Amino acid sequence: MTAVTPAPPSAAGTSAPADAPPPKRPGGRSRLRAAAGFAFGAALLFAVAPLVLSDFRLALLAKYLCVAMVAVGIGIAWGRGGMLTLGQGVFFGLGGYAMAMHLKLADAGPGGMPDFMQLYGQLDEVPVWWRPFASPWFALPATVLLPMAVAFGLGSLVFRRRVRGAYFAILSQALAAAMVILLIGQQGTTGGTNGLTDIEGFFGYDLDDPVNQRMVYFIIAGVLLALLALARQLIHSRYGELLVAVRDSEERVRFLGYDPASVKLVAYVVAAGMAGLAGALFVPAVGIISPALIGIVPSIEFVIGVAVGGRATLLGPVLGAVAVAWARTALSERFPGTWTYLQGLLFVVVVAFLPGGLASLWALARRRDAGPEQSRRGWSALGRRRAERAEVPAA
């Protein structure tokens, strides 16, 4: 008798939220649409944006795209895995500080000390744990591997003990607060509250030169598209189906012989790596990394952007992150005294009237164009699926 390996549990037999359908295996037409979408996005980022935006606005867009990279990872961990990660600022900061340390040492030259260490006068030489970051062969991998290693260690402890839901969200938020306190307390080696500032060069290129700033923007845009391609491949794989099943019914997945902790750990580590890479590219785009950019408030803003865009889709987190970041800049310029209230109102309106986020506008438009008969058939099919779920006994 041949042993049968259990297939990944289907999310169709579980109580999935309405805005988070289970992923479908991409067919030929789906791949064609995806390729067309990536081509359209590349045209916007590499051709249209540099032509219509000034150097200042293009630099702002580069900053927004770094935030969008973090959102892609949150979309995988939260949208597909159900893990509300309120501490992505930690991984963003680890990647950012790793890159900033290398660039500050490069600006100081061989044997030199970064300017802020000389200013504070607490050290006579570069700390031992700073010295490996002088090598780009160490610093560049560290921007991704260090956040992933921290996420692996934390996730292994948390998920094995079945910590989830609000408890996991609070724990991740506490990690962000602890990270900020640690950085502020080490003023002589991390710059304290000010962080690492006045970064002038990027691997030999002067960041004050507008041409080099555009080069940094193109690198960021290319990396964002690559992360989107990676996320799409992950979502539509067998692992993506298993991740959705763990989100919807963790106990049923466990009964089928899979380890939900390992499934969630992979998504959490991947999201951390994306956040670290975003932080590393944020440094040359903005020229600074500080505790104010990686604490509790920035971590919550990352999640808000994903919620506004639509956490259950591929492009929703990117659109939401860019829209929220752009709204923050535009509102702060026009309404410097009340822009925070307007930003909060924007979030409330989108969540109240578009639970699926901005990405659901396309689905709503298609449903309206389909006509009432098509809508009735869709609602009938939805009712049958819910009835089938109700007949399945709970695990």
Reply yes or no on whether the pLDDT at 392 is more than 90: no
Q: Which residue has the tokens 């002589």?
A: 188
Backbone φ/ψ region at 23: left (φ over 0), alpha (ψ -120 to 50), beta: beta
In contact, 224 and 68? CB cutoff 8 Å: yes
353: enclosing H helix or E strand: helix 339-353
d(Cα 221, Cα 213) in Å, to the nearest integer? 12
Q: How many CB atoms lie within 10 A of CB 349?
A: 11
Percent of the chain, pLDDT > 70?
A: 85
Query: pLDDT-derived band of residue 211, with 50, 70 and 90 as boundaries?
Result: very high
The predicted model gives 104-110 an average pLDDT of 88
Residue ranges of domains in the chain? 53-294
Classify residue 192 as left (phi > 0), alpha (psi -120 to 50) or beta.
left
Half-sphere exposure of 164 (CA within 13 A, CB side): 20
Mean pLDDT to the nearest integer, 4-33: 53
Does 138 score more than 90 pLDDT?
Answer: yes
Q: Under 8 Å CB-to-CB from 196, ≥6 apart: which residues?
A: 97, 100, 101, 104, 114, 116, 190, 283, 288, 289, 290
302, containing H or E segment: helix 296-309
* pLDDT tens track for 361-385: 776 766 766 655 554 555 455 455 4
Give the number of residues written for the chain.
Answer: 395
Rounded Cα distance between 210 and 234, Å, is 36
- Cβ-based neighbour number of residue 258 at 10 Å: 18
Output the pLDDT for position 10: 46
Q: Is the pLDDT of residue 31 over 50?
A: yes
Q: So what's the pLDDT on residue 11? A: 42
User: What is residue 223's predicted lDDT score, i.e. its pLDDT?
Assistant: 96
pTM of the model: 0.84
pLDDT band at 27 (very low <50, low <70, confident <90, very high): low
Residue 19 pLDDT > 50, yes or no?
A: no
In this predicted model, what pLDDT tens digit does every residue of 144-194 receive, in sequence order?
999 999 999 999 999 988 888 888 888 888 999 999 999 998 888 888 889
Mean pLDDT across the chain, nearest whole number? 83
SS3 label, residue 42: helix
- Does the pLDDT of residue 215 top 90, yes or no? yes
**357-391 burial code (b ≥16 CB/10 A, e <16):** bbbbeeeeeeeeeeeeeeeeeeeeeeeeeeeeeee
Least confident stretch, 48-52, 72-76, 105-109, 230-234: 105-109
Q: How far is CA 126 from CA 113, 129, 136, in A?
A: 6, 8, 17
The pLDDT tens digits of the residues spanning 272-327 come to: 999 999 999 999 999 999 999 988 888 988 998 998 888 888 888 999 999 889 98
Percent of the chain with pLDDT over 90: 43
The residue type at 104: K
CB atoms within 10 A of CB 170: 14
